[in-house]
Amino acid sequence: MNALKTVISPVIALAGAVLVSGSAQAAPGCDSVSPFQRSVVEHADGDVGALRAYVVRNTMTHGGDMWEVQRKLDQWRSAVECRKFAEAAAAAKEAEVARSGGTTAPSDVAQR
């Protein structure tokens, strides 16, 4: 039994690491988006005054200014939308794998 645990534990850890690293990687075909850029896009959907206040408040921390936001907002917006679409597709794929029984969750391995 101990030999089985020594073999299964690293396999489970490796499977978990692969799943986590796969979801953390950038979606194929999507530009990378920083947390600041994502927040700017979220604030841009609201009031212009709130967007300006957010950018001014975070200029020292994240860099960037309203001129950069003006020039790159459409690019950031499309990148955020691309990533949201890719994340939703990945979540749907994971749900489909889980429903079909093809998952390698630790609880499934322990039951076998």
Would the pTM count as exceeding 0.75? no
Q: At what angle do helices 66-100 and 35-44 cross, to 10 degrees?
A: 100
Q: What is the model's pLDDT at position 93?
A: 92
Which residues span the domain enclosing 19? 2-24+31-111
Q: How far apart are CA 16 and CA 97, in angstroms?
A: 15
- Summarised one tens digit per residue, pLDDT across range 32-85 is 999 999 999 999 988 889 899 999 999 888 888 899 999 999 999 999 999 999
How many domains would you assign to the chain? Answer: 1
Please spell the DSSP secondary structure of 53-104, one letter per residue: HHHHHHHHHH---HHHHHHHHHHHHHHHHHHHHHHHHHHHHHHHHHHHT---
Q: Strands (DSSP E) along 1-112, which ranges?
A: none
